[in-house]
Amino acid sequence: MRDTAVIIMAAGKGKRMKSNLPKVLHNLAGKPILNYVLDTVDQLEVKRKILIIGYKSDKIRELMGDKIEYVEQKEQLGTAHAVLQTKKLLSGFKGDVLILSGDVPFLTVKNLKKLLEYHQANNFFCTLVSTVLKNPKGYGRIIRDKKGEIKGIIEEADLSTDKKKITEINSGIYCFNKEKLFQALEKVTTDNKQREYYLTDTVKILLGEGLTIGNIIIKDYSEILGINNQLDLADASQKVYQKTLQNLMLQGVTIVDPNSTFIERGVKIGQDTIIYPFTIIEKGTKIGSNCFIGPYSHLIDADIGKGVRVWASIIESSAVKEGANIGPYAHLRPETVVEKGAKIGNFVELKKTIMGEGSKASHLTYLGDATIGKKVNIGAGTITCNYDGEKKHKTVIEDGVFIGSNNSLVAPVKLGKDSYTGAGSTITEDVPAGNLAIARSRQTNISGWRKKKKEDKS
């Protein structure tokens, strides 16, 4: 096969999205629309990959980094003008140019390879991809003669009434002979209702020169439809989510209600795990077998062991080991590890904390920057005071410690093995192993205080 350069068009704002975010950066079931296109291109054997950027180009560069070449279209004057911006970058390239749109996420590698092979085997100067829609509104139409030969492409805004009935639409996906492409681009004018330089006009120009044009018709139209507005985005996201859920269910995962469950691609879940409704599981998450997740849980980059129960809780970039119990209404913030058989209960928040095997924090607790040993009991209302206004400090609680209710553990502080603290204590100093620490003022009852208060007011 001849060398191929890929050009991906992603310069527009996407006005119909009604958003200040570039259209291609909108989140589609867990990752930007543009990433779907780039992931597909990465599976092709191509020499060059070029991204045409324009609106808020800095945001796109920030996301994509240096894994692709960039060309900036500073003024959005049309698709032909956009592609023309790559002329200098491709000046020394010899071969074919594959042109894709950054907002068409479901185009398959199989059909792109088919396009390239068909184009090169027949030595076409341009090969375009089309499909047939029952409702083609909004798309450019493929114009054919009585013999069925392609005569050109007309954009929606420039269609006459009779041609609006044509149902074969242009996908915006092309493969060009590089030299003929740029020669044709130089001849494109703005003689149309939108006063733009249309890439579609290159097809008419090449045909006018007697050059051969190829065509592939893709039967599954959903593969080449672009995302133009928020409705399209929601529909596309639903398709991705449903496909992911179907694959998981075929692998032995129980999804109680697929219509209210959102799991991103790449999430791994063991068999006989049950996912309850209104649960969101994001990429990077791994869940073992025989777990119960949800309802109303949100897992982000979480590592969940076998037999774990997560009920109505949030887990971010944290690990929960085998047999642990989380929730309801718990929040595990990044760099937290909950060891085997531990319990994190109602309204408990952990941040950068290791919760030892068999330990419990059953309710109303905050533990930050803490290392907690085995079989520790954390009483209700306990907090680690880990921030002094400038730095974070660690709390260390060794095996077998019993923390009374409503304790404040002022870090840095260490509680030795099998030590106890009394309820209501503020612990500011280390507690030796086996000791009981009580740090609260002695209760004083003031006799006659209520009567005196009334007399003072009179």
Catalytic residue among 26, 81, 331, 363: 363
Under a CB-based contact definition with an 8 Å cutoff, are residues 32 and 91 in contact? Answer: no
Place of tokens 């929040």: 331
What sign results for the dihedral spanned by CA atoms 100, 102, 103, 104? positive
The secondary element (H helix, E strand) that includes residue 262 is: strand 261-263
Place of tokens 């991103």: 264
For this structure, is 363 an active site residue?
A: yes
Task: Tell me the CA end-to-end span of the chain in Å, nearest whole number.
Answer: 101
3-state secondary structure of 120: helix
State the Cα torsion 399-403-407-413 to the nearest 10°: -20
Under a CB-based contact definition with an 8 Å cutoff, are residues 293 and 273 in contact? Answer: yes
Distance CA 30, CA 35 (A): 10
Task: Kindly state the tokens that stand for 372.
Answer: 């907690």
Residue ranges of E strands in 314-359:
314-316, 319-320, 325-326, 331-332, 337-338, 343-351, 354-355
Under a CB-based contact definition with an 8 Å cutoff, are residues 168 and 130 in contact? Answer: yes
Q: Which residues, 6+ apart, have CB-to-CB distance to 241 below 8 Å?
A: 29, 261, 262, 263, 264
3-state secondary structure of 313: coil
In single-letter form, the type of residue at position 414 comes to K
Distance CA 56, CA 75 (A): 12
CB atoms within 10 A of CB 448: 8
Under a CB-based contact definition with an 8 Å cutoff, are residues 192 and 141 in contact? Answer: no
Q: 137: burial class by Cβ within 10 Å (0-12, 13-18, 19+)?
A: exposed
State the Cα torsion 131-137-138-143 to the nearest 10°: 50
Active site residues: 363
